[in-house]
Structure 1
Amino acid sequence: MWTPNPAMAFLSTLFSPRILAATAVALGFSLLNAAPAPIKVLIVDGQNNHSWKETTPVLKEILEASGRFQVDVATSPPQGGDMSAFKPDFAKYAVVVSNYNGDAWSKETNEAFEKYVHDGGGFVSYHAADNSFPEWRQYNQMIGVGGWGNRKAPESGSMIRYRAGKVAIEAVPGRCGNHGARVPFQVTMRERRHPIAKGLPKVWMHAGDELYDSLCGPAQDFTLVGTAHSNGQNRGTNEEEPMLLAVRYSNGRVFHTTLGHDVAAMHCVGFITTLLRGTEWAATGKVSIPVPPDFPTAQATSLRK
């Protein structure tokens, strides 16, 4: 995409192309205002207790359809395979999106990823990626909180809740990671000044999805961007649980979304929009992607296929 420079557009009505080009050079005009280069994204997948072969193409399509991202995919060996050769070149990308939940990576790959995020690389933890690597301390610092994988509180860390208008961090003993049946639920934006949330409705209805609760971890240096009420009648906690987190890990930015269990949930315009804006923020620290007119309301979901 490009747009003509307004000054040059006016001059083009007065002069020939040859004179116009010479004038542009003399006056320092650019004939075209080029759109910014696409942000390079790497999706990591290959193992997951979720249907990664179905969800990775949707993640890629969502990101590329925005016109803001250029996406590659790095697929690991299957479960039980030789992970020593799995060495994505993280440094080539502005942001890494994880759709991975499986075998441990090699020490070399772990260290490369730690350095990448530590030095300023962006990272997006998508849904079950927060189930991964329960023993990898630095990874758990990046995602803030995670679940399953034999995580237990307080050994694995604290839980993040939202109560009485403020964030509550507590180490409640118990298993970390739970969800009820997939149903639509409201997401409430808690830090509306954050670039990811700015301009979004305070409350919006998400499509039927798993509502993660009781996640635990280091819970450090984060902004609680969005929560949802975990209904006790749906095997929940009756707490406001974190759905969207923005985490700082040294010089890196991490967007953690628990949403998007399957392709049906990924059709939600709320999921699409927060994924796009969270990925851009993780990569750049800013958000230019607008809130679409079909964004869901507090009462009604909005789906886009």
Structure 2
Amino acid sequence: MKKFVLTLAAGFLFASPAWAAQKIHVLILDGESAASYHKWAAETPVLKKELDEAGLFDVDILTAPPAGGDFSQFHPDWSKYGVIVLNYDAPDERWSPQIKESFEKYMNAGGGLVTVHAADNAFPKWKAYNDMIGVGGWRGRTEEAGPHWIWKDGNLTEDEKPGRAGVHGNRIPFLVTARNTTHPIMRGLPATWMHQGDELYANLRGPGKMTVLATAYSDPRNHGTGDDEPMVMVSQFGKGRVVHTTWGHDVFALSSTDAVVIFKRSVEWAATGKVTQPVPPTFPTANTVTFRADLAAMDPNADKGVNGFDLTPPVRPARPAPEPPAAR
């Protein structure tokens, strides 16, 4: 087994290009998650810090009312923003038909959407939202939501087996494999790299309609599916661009250098269709986990130290050789 190395990436700053006319207006929307272990209130400041340091974005934060709250004044003006970042997971009934319709119009007209981790659990019966994100999990999703989509033999493939949508194992590092190296978000990234301790979402279901940029193997020894699962994907809704990332369970996971870099690039691409940000030298490799110590320190549990599970080197089992063809 190759030596597994952990390094801490120094805080890196990307300067705004001198020719940039104006910054991209970004709205981070938060306010709810299905359970307390998704600490959206701690994660949003991390996402904002990542965007602020790029020098390309002007970021607002909107916290939606909680369950049982007053939504009478919740009428976001989506059109003010080039990108909406959803750090948000709510059930179907939380948004009125009018709010959903206004968001669909925004996306159809060319808006941008970037979803983070549990945002793909949200709105299981909202067809347009599921068309945007391609696949989702939990909140009662089953095969009725669509097939389980996996990466197999070089293609995005349907797995039609019935069952509930959404599983993950313990938070350990996992190897990510680039599946599209020409997309602007992925250009310049290595073929494989380590993502630090995080939930590896698997068995997500939906209509598909997305282009997979990166995958990770869901190890059965860690409650996984045995399949290569989509981790980063893009899609189009009307004229709008969507980036769906499944990682980011907590602040520590969001501080993984690859998550930081791909998040910033995703927001820029969703707004403009281009990426101008370089890949930092601290980007992880196939044998190295790197993370932003300054971001990890923003975790509410940072004083407890790093979870040992987050630094456990994974060992990917060898896959069985294919059966020889039957004699004719």
TM over 0.5: yes
Aligned to 1:183: 172
Please, which runs of 5 or more residues in structure 2 have no aligned partner? 1-14, 295-328
User: Structure 1 residue 233 and structure 2 residue 233: aligned?
Assistant: no
Distance in 2 separating the partners of 1:268 and 1:161: 24
Structure 1 stretches (4+) deviating beyond 4 angstroms? none
Measured after TM superposition, the shift of residue 253 of structure 1 is: 0.4
Counterpart of 1:224 (choices 201, 208, 212) is 212
Measured after TM superposition, the shift of residue 299 of structure 1 is: 0.6
Counterpart of 2:52 (choices 46, 59, 64) is 64
Distance in 1 separating the partners of 2:16 and 2:285: 33
Q: CA RMSD in A?
A: 1.3
> In the alignment, is the contact (CA less than 8 A) between 2:29 and 2:85 conserved in 1?
yes
Please, which runs of 5 or more residues in structure 1 have no aligned partner? 4-32
Aligned to 2:299: none
Q: Deviations over 1:196-231 (max 9, x none)?
A: 1111001010010000000001101x2100000000
Distance in 2 separating the partners of 1:189 and 1:171: 25
Aligned to 1:270: 258
User: Structure 1 residue 35 and structure 2 residue 23: aligned?
Assistant: no
List aligned pairs for 1:96-115, cutoff 5 A: 96-103=84-91, 104-115=94-105
Distance in 2 separating the partners of 1:224 and 1:203: 15
> In the alignment, is the contact (CA less than 8 A) between 1:84 and 1:105 conserved in 2?
no
Inter-CA distance 171–82: structure 2 relative to 1 (3 Å threshold): farther
Counterpart of 2:247 (choices 242, 259, 262) is 259
Distance in 2 separating the partners of 1:230 and 1:84: 42
> In the alignment, is the contact (CA less than 8 A) between 1:47 and 1:102 conserved in 2?
yes
Measured after TM superposition, the shift of residue 151 of structure 1 is: 0.1
Measured after TM superposition, the shift of residue 85 of structure 1 is: 2.2
Distance in 1 separating the partners of 2:195 and 2:123: 28
Aligned to 1:95: 83
Distance in 2 separating the partners of 1:2 and 1:210: 33
Measured after TM superposition, the shift of residue 122 of structure 1 is: 0.3
Inter-CA distance 118–300: structure 2 relative to 1 (3 Å threshold): same
User: Structure 1 residue 211 and structure 2 residue 200: aligned?
Assistant: yes
List aligned pairs for 1:1-305, cutoff 5 A: 34-48=19-33, 49=35, 50-103=38-91, 104-153=94-143, 155-220=144-209, 222-304=210-292, 305=294
Aligned to 1:15: none
Distance in 1 separating the partners of 2:217 and 2:19: 44
Measured after TM superposition, the shift of residue 34 of structure 1 is: 4.1
Distance in 2 separating the partners of 1:118 and 1:111: 10
Higher RCO (C-alpha 8 Å, min separation 6): 2
Q: Which amino acid aligns with 1:127?
A: H
Secondary structure at 2:226's aligned position in 1? Answer: coil
Q: Deviations over 1:129-174 (max 9, x none)?
A: 0000001010000000000010001x11122211122221232210
Distance in 2 separating the partners of 1:185 and 1:295: 15
Secondary structure at 1:85's aligned position in 2? Answer: coil
Q: Percent of aligned pairs with the same residue?
A: 49
Inter-CA distance 2–213: structure 2 relative to 1 (3 Å threshold): closer
> In the alignment, is the contact (CA less than 8 A) between 2:166 and 2:202 conserved in 1?
yes
The TM-score, its normalising length taken from structure 1, stands at 0.87
Inter-CA distance 34–195: structure 2 relative to 1 (3 Å threshold): closer
The TM-score, its normalising length taken from structure 2, stands at 0.81
Q: Deviations over 1:241-267 (max 9, x none)?
A: 000010111100000000111000111
Distance in 2 separating the partners of 1:231 and 1:303: 23
Distance in 1 separating the partners of 2:138 and 2:73: 27
Q: Which amino acid aligns with 2:150?
A: R
Q: Deviations over 1:166-195 (max 9, x none)?
A: 221232210001100000001111011111
> In the alignment, is the contact (CA less than 8 A) between 2:26 and 2:82 conserved in 1?
yes
Secondary structure at 2:214's aligned position in 1? Answer: strand
Mean Cα deviation higher: 77-86 or 183-192:
77-86
Q: Which amino acid aligns with 1:87?
A: H
Measured after TM superposition, the shift of residue 81 of structure 1 is: 1.3
Q: Which amino acid aligns with 1:70?
A: D
Q: Deviations over 1:70-100 (max 9, x none)?
A: 1101111111212232111110000000011
